[in-house]
Amino acid sequence: MEAPGITPLVTLFAASFAIAFSGALMPGPLLTATIAASARRGPSAGPLIIAGHAVLESGLLVALMLGLSPILARDGVFTGISFLGGAVLAWMAAGMFRSLSSLTVPQTQQKGGGNRLVWTGVAMSLSNPYWTIWWATIGLGAILQARRFGAAGVAAFFSGHILADLGWYSLVSFAVGKGKRFFSDRVYRRLVAVLAALMLVFAAAFIFAGAVRLRGMIQS
């Protein structure tokens, strides 16, 4: 295969970055977890969470190229991820609510726990069934287009996608981490309560979507 010129690769990178950035702007479990972690850990929370997200997506990218897409697009897979993801988010929200009475604004950035934040990025991505479906449909289509330019094309697509996530979540993490000095304990607790409530909303939405898909499977 002839090596592609630089223009198609730059175009592919830019398109991938723009699509991923627009998706990153939408609220979801990953953003909610990033905000909560950034108040404790500081600006490093966002990049660490996205590191876990990126590791998972790179593995899924390889799996899709090897033919995993039809499996991920099955109703049963979507339903299972919806129920399991909803349960995980509800469990996390319950823990956040239980901790409200004892929460205080961290005076210094917490050290350590980087591995935990990386795993948070993995868990929050896996808990979202729409993330899986996006990669099995839109993501796969983009990969197939990128493969026309060989390995360089796939690399351009994936790097644009990940850098969009990293840029936005790093910005959010920096804003929250540096702005926590303006929080009182009351404001901090209210923020965590709002984030926990959002987690419950996402949990309910995922479980409802799974129930609807399950009903359709039973009736078909």
The pLDDT-based confidence of 53 (bands split at 50, 70, 90) is: very high
Residue 1: the pLDDT is 47
The pLDDT of residue 109 is above 70: no
Task: Check pLDDT > 80 for residue 214.
Answer: yes
Taking residues 77-99, what's their average pLDDT? 88
**Residue with more model confidence, 183 or 185:** 185
Q: What is the mean pLDDT of residues 183-194?
A: 81
Q: Region 139-160: what's the mean pLDDT?
A: 87
Domain ranges of the chain: 6-219
The long-range contacts involving 32-35, CB below 8 angstroms and separated by at least 24 positions, are: 32/195, 32/198, 32/199, 32/202, 33/92, 33/120, 33/124, 34/169, 34/172, 34/173, 35/172, 35/176, 35/191, 35/195
100 confidence band (pLDDT: 50, 70, 90): confident
Instruction: Look at residue 149 in the predicted model and tell me its pLDDT.
Output: 87
**Cα dist. 146→54, 58, 67, 71, 152 in Å?**
18, 15, 16, 22, 8
Q: How much of the chain exceeds pLDDT 90, in percent?
A: 27
Is the predicted pLDDT of residue 135 greater than 70, yes or no?
A: yes
Average pLDDT of the residues in 187-216:
88
Structure tokens at 5: 């010129």
Comparing 81 with 167, the larger pLDDT belongs to 167
Would you say the pTM of this structure is higher than 0.75?
A: yes
| Residue 13 pLDDT | 93
- On the question of pLDDT at 127 being above 60, the answer is yes
